[in-house]
Amino acid sequence: MTQEITFIQREQLKAKPDPASLGFGKYFTDYMFVMDYHTDNGWHNARIVPYGPLTLDPSSMVFHYGQAIFEGMKAYKTPDGEVQLFRPDKNMKRLNDSCDRLCIPQIDGEFLLKAIKQLVTVEKDWVPEGAGQSLYIRPFIYASEAGLGVHPAHQYTLLVIMSPSGAYYGDQLNPVNIYVEEHYVRAVLGGVGHVKTSGNYAASLKAQEKAEANGYAQILWLDAKENKYVEEVGSMNIFFKINGEVVTPKLNGSILPGVTRDSVIQILKHWGEPVREERISIEEVFAAYERGELEEVFGAGTAAVISPVGELTWNGKTIVINDRKIGQTSQRLYDGITGIQLGKLEDPFNWTVKV
307 near ligand COI, judged by CB under 6 A: no
Amino acid identity of residue 339, one-letter, is G
Closest residue to ligand COI in the complex (CB): 72
In the complex, least distance from residue 265 CB atom to ligand COI, rounded to whole angstroms: 17
> How many residues sit in the footprint of ligand COI (CB under 6 A)?
5
CA distances from 68 to 158, 273, 335 (A): 10, 38, 34
In the complex, least distance from residue 59 CB atom to ligand COI, rounded to whole angstroms: 28
Name which of residues 210 to 239 contact ligand COI (CB under 6 A).
235
> Which CB atom, from 322 or from 341, has the smaller least distance to ligand COI?
341
In the complex, least distance from residue 303 CB atom to ligand COI, rounded to whole angstroms: 3
Which contacts (CB < 8 Å, 24+ apart) does range 284-287 have? 285/230, 285/240, 285/242, 285/312, 286/312, 286/314, 286/317, 286/319
> Which CB atom, from 302 or from 352, has the smaller least distance to ligand COI?
302
In the complex, least distance from residue 124 CB atom to ligand COI, rounded to whole angstroms: 21
Amino acid identity of residue 303, one-letter, is A
Residue 302: alpha-carbon gap to chain centroid: 4
306 near ligand COI, judged by CB under 6 A: no
Residues in the chain, total: 355
Residue 235: alpha-carbon gap to chain centroid: 6
Name which of residues 68 to 97 contact ligand COI (CB under 6 A).
72
336 near ligand COI, judged by CB under 6 A: no
- What is the distance between the alpha carbons of residues 88 and 115, in angstroms, rounded to a whole number? 12
> HSE-up of 117 (CA within 13 Å, CB side)?
18
* Three-state DSSP state, 315: coil
In the complex, least distance from residue 167 CB atom to ligand COI, rounded to whole angstroms: 12
> Which CB atom, from 301 or from 310, has the smaller least distance to ligand COI?
301
- DSSP characters for 222-244? B-TTTS-BB---SSSEEEEEETT
Residue 336: alpha-carbon gap to chain centroid: 19
Site map 265..304 versus ligand COI, x via CB under 6 A: ------------------------------------xxx-
In the complex, least distance from residue 23 CB atom to ligand COI, rounded to whole angstroms: 12
- Name the site residues for ligand COI (rule: CB under 6 A): 72, 235, 301-303
